[in-house]
Amino acid sequence: MNTETLTRGDADLAMLQDLLNRQRQDYHSDPVPDYEQRIRDLKTLARMIREHQEDMVQAISDDYGNRSRIESLFCEIYVVLDGIKDTIKNLKKWMKPQRRHVSLTSYPTSRNRVIPQPLGVVGVIVPWNFPANLTFAPLTSIFAAGNRAMVKMSENSSRLAALLARISGDYFPPEKLAFVPDTGGVGPLFSSLKFDHLIFTGSSSTGRAVMRSAAENLTPVTLELGGKSPAIVAPDYPLDTAAERILFWKLLNAGQICTTVDYLFLPEHSVEPFVEKAKQLVQKRYPDLQSEDYTSVIDDRSYRRLWDTLDDAIAKGATAIDLSGGQGSRDDRLRKFPPHLLLNVTDEMEVMQREIFGPLLPVKTYSDRQQVLEYVNRGPRPLSIYPFTNDKALTDFYIERMISGGVTVNNCVLHVAQHDIPFGGVGDSGMGHYHGYEGFITFSKLRPVFYQGPLDPIKLLMPPYGKTAKKILDVMIRMTK
């Protein structure tokens, strides 16, 4: 490492630490913003998005090379604004202290409360795939809980990051919200700061590094990672409906979604009709892959990785089916990767060993549900599972015996968009939850407070210990039966 790199790193760390100190000082000056202030912050956040909606959509598209405007409006703008609306509706209820039962030793005039209070300063590390959503959805929960926030965005989201850094000061002082530029190498420095909480969304490998850095400061983390999320189509479920839904979500954002279908289980007799339906759907929905409706792969490295993954699968015996019908010639400048099904896949193929993050869909066949269960449970716990069946017993079988971060039944991904249920992974797919009430709780300290009443029964147990204390304890222990 040369002197220039050391100097730049030291300067970056000093800048980050100064920003954190300013936010922490602001927190100490007003540690518990009242309900009205939090509502103002949430409404300001929504106003910031609404007033720069088109700028954000364009910046995201520029970062991608081409990002479908409809996909950005649906997945980035609408979902976040609807989440803010839901939070505003429920915040007063969430903020109310909770009354809790008082144990026998403290009767009769004492009381318990659990008071949700802000943690302080929260760090947010945002990936490139849904950069607005995964910035503003955590911020909604962070501000609802009364905190300050520092946000570090991906190098691949440079245009959106520059936009948000430029406009955020018009809505929030840097002591409340600050966007940290990342021109390379800032990520490890950011995760090494002594935040009161750190939320990271991204790959499992980077998540491990973030967690190691946070551990040095005992900073609690929420990790939203990825993994290989399966869809399982049961014999009883209409194949056309399953294909319509699975292909929509698989090709949304060109497959660059942590919760998308990573591989598909089909009954053995359903493969051929599924393939034919998939071809019809893709060619109808995307008659021209070079159009603005079909999103580009984020960068050249990811684009080359997908071609290498496809070539690896073919070389090891997979049958590759180009669902676009081989539209036109390959144009690497646009990075529009044609959607493919992969049949006859094996675990030796790279496509089955890591999260795909692109429009490749491996297909595995099965003859009974136990095969599916054993295969999924042999691997790391996925972020999601997607059973397609009208058989309630079969649905319960998969939900009860196959642990994942979340589940959508008879569709894909939609559990993530529900405001009144938590979103989060488990095991290799992450830890912790946010969204809605669970997000408010994640970024709050649930402060237990015991209020001693005028009468103190513990006085009867104070030394010197004698027969009275023994009799009282004998009675108390018998009452636990």
Residues 229, 217: Cα–Cα separation, whole Å: 32
DSSP secondary-structure letter at 103? Answer: P
**Amino acid letter at 420?**
D
Residues 256, 61: Cα–Cα separation, whole Å: 14
Burial class for 409, CB neighbours closer than 10 Å (0-12, 13-18, 19+): middle
**Amino acid letter at 342?**
L
- Is there a contact between 218 and 193 (Cβ–Cβ < 8 Å)? no
Residues 431, 225: Cα–Cα separation, whole Å: 8
Residues 426, 381: Cα–Cα separation, whole Å: 7
Distances in Å between the Cα of 260 and the Cα atoms of 71, 284, 412 are 14, 21, 7
Residues 413, 186: Cα–Cα separation, whole Å: 31
* CA-closest candidate to residue 87, choices 131, 43, 33, 121: 43
**Residue 258 annotated in active site:** yes
Radius of gyration of the chain (CA): 26
Residues 327, 291: Cα–Cα separation, whole Å: 12
* Catalytic choice (258, 276, 292, 355): 258
Angle at 349 between CA 285 and CA 394, to 5 degrees: 65
Residues 46, 96: Cα–Cα separation, whole Å: 24
3-state secondary structure of 320: strand
* Catalytic choice (76, 224, 355, 412): 224
- Is there a contact between 360 and 255 (Cβ–Cβ < 8 Å)? yes
Contacts of range 84-90, beta carbons closer than 8 Å, 24 or more positions apart = 84/42, 84/43, 84/45, 84/46, 84/136, 84/140, 85/46, 86/419, 86/420, 86/436, 87/42, 87/140, 87/141, 87/144, 87/419, 87/436, 87/440, 88/39, 88/42, 88/43, 90/436, 90/437
Distances in Å between the Cα of 176 and the Cα atoms of 19, 45, 166, 386 are 10, 12, 15, 39
Rounded to the nearest 10 degrees, how much is the dihedral formed by the CA atoms of 172, 173, 179, 183? 140
Residues involved in catalysis: 224, 258
